[in-house]
Amino acid sequence: MDFAFSAEEESLRASVRSFIREHITDDVRRELADAHAGRGKGPALLAVQDAIFRRGWLAISWPKEYGGQGGSLVTQYIVEEEFIRACDMRVGGGGTGGPAVLACGTEEQKREFLPGCARLQISFCQGYSEPHCGTDLAGIRCRAIREGDEYVVNGQKIYTTNAQNATHIFLLARTDPESRRQAGLSVFLVPMDTPGITVRPLWTIQNEPQAPPHTTYGEARTNEVFFDNVKVPASCLLGQEGDGWNVTQRGLNLDRVGAWRYLMSVRRTEDVVNLLKSGDAAVGHLSHDPAVRDKVADLWTEAQMCRLMTMRSLSIAARAGSFSYEGSGEKVAGPEHGVRATEAIGQILGPHAELLNGSPGAIDSGVFAHNLLGAFQSTVNHGSVQVMRDQIARKGLGMPRPAGVAGTRAARV
């Protein structure tokens, strides 16, 4: 088996790197940080996004009729990887919403949403979690009741990252008020400017001091989103009414596959390797310590395993295969590696690695300390690793549910 990229794929990578060196200026980086903070896109950022689109790199794997280039998922991975490494710019197209529309949407929905996603003019935040159910999506109470040609939505979502910037919310709501658990849920593509939607900020531990660039889960803000008699056209329903659980799981699986999720888990390991190799006077001596070298080698090997799991998922998706447990496997391996790496890096670098951004003596602008603050979040977001292990056991290994707990929440998830 050949794990290397082809000559054509490496040529694409070289072209992307050349573009980044020329176009991702300090002004673009500042405006990108402002955009992430909800202050809008500046002219330099808009110009570079337009230039990326004209090169055909935004949503490169999507069909041409929907704004893509009909490329492979591997080419998509390469483009995403380079932009994320360089400046944390996501070029995949719309987050969870875009791939889910491509997989489950009507022709009208695809033509309405996908070209805008491909040009980064449409973006989705994820309306899943609620205050009482957290990652237990089957416990959702937010309701969408059909009234003629509309649904009326009432309820609340929480920890809705990027709701202050997104044009739409990928909303999971209960359309059958008498249903329980997975049954009776539906997905809607709702414009965020719809009357009755209120976004309220939740400031995170990364807000003050602000996490430096490249921090994993370094967002200064997440959000609560409230729905008060929000009227949504029936045309916003994605998939069939009551099939929202399957649509959601498909969207999550698609969103877990790619460079962004992979790099979220392994960049901590890459950062410490680069730091130790940099010759930094404060830590350079550690690169010659046998215990440090052994531990870093272990972490690097784990990171490469995570990379290969991602490439396996890309291969399955490219063959139009179905995911049974592979996405769940990635969701366990990557975040847990990230947690182990973060803790080990703190032990390797010592007390200075615990100093936050702006503190005298902080290492690399405090990125390792801020990574520690966000590390365990990755084991919960997009499905907890405990739930993912259950899916691996039942879907991947064909194991039965434990006897005597059929009525518990753990068995029903």
pLDDT (average), residues 372-384: 78
Using the predicted structure, report yes or no on whether residue 85 has a pLDDT greater than 50: yes
pLDDT in tens, 209-231: 988 888 888 888 899 999 999 99
- Asked if pLDDT for residue 254 goes beyond 70, the answer is no
Q: What's the pLDDT at 277?
A: 87
Highest-scoring range by mean pLDDT, 77-81, 189-193, 333-337, 338-342: 189-193
CB atoms within 10 A of CB 199: 18
Spatial contact of 121 and 128, defined as CB atoms under 8 Å apart: no
Residue 408 has pLDDT above 60, yes or no: no
State residue 357's pLDDT score: 94
**Band of the pLDDT at 307, cuts 50, 70, 90?**
confident
pLDDT of residue 34: 82
Least confidently predicted of 162-166, 203-207, 290-294, 392-396: 392-396
- What is d(CA 74, CA 78) in angstroms, rounded to the nearest whole number? 6
Q: For the chain, which domains are there?
A: 7-92 (1.10.540.10), 124-242 (2.40.110.10), 257-412 (1.20.140.10)
pLDDT confidence of residue 376? 79
Residue 355 CB: number of other CB atoms within 10 A? 16
pTM for the full model?
A: 0.83
What value does the mean pLDDT take over residues 47-55? 90
DSSP 392: I
Per-residue pLDDT, 167: 93
What local confidence, expressed as pLDDT, does residue 28 receive?
Answer: 93
% of the chain residues with pLDDT over 90: 33
| Single-letter amino acid, residue 312 | R
Residues 122-149 have pLDDT tens digits of: 989 988 888 887 667 777 899 999 999 9
Backbone phi, psi, residue 74, to 5°: -70, -40
Question: Which of the four pLDDT bands, split at 50, 70 and 90, describes residue 407?
Answer: very low
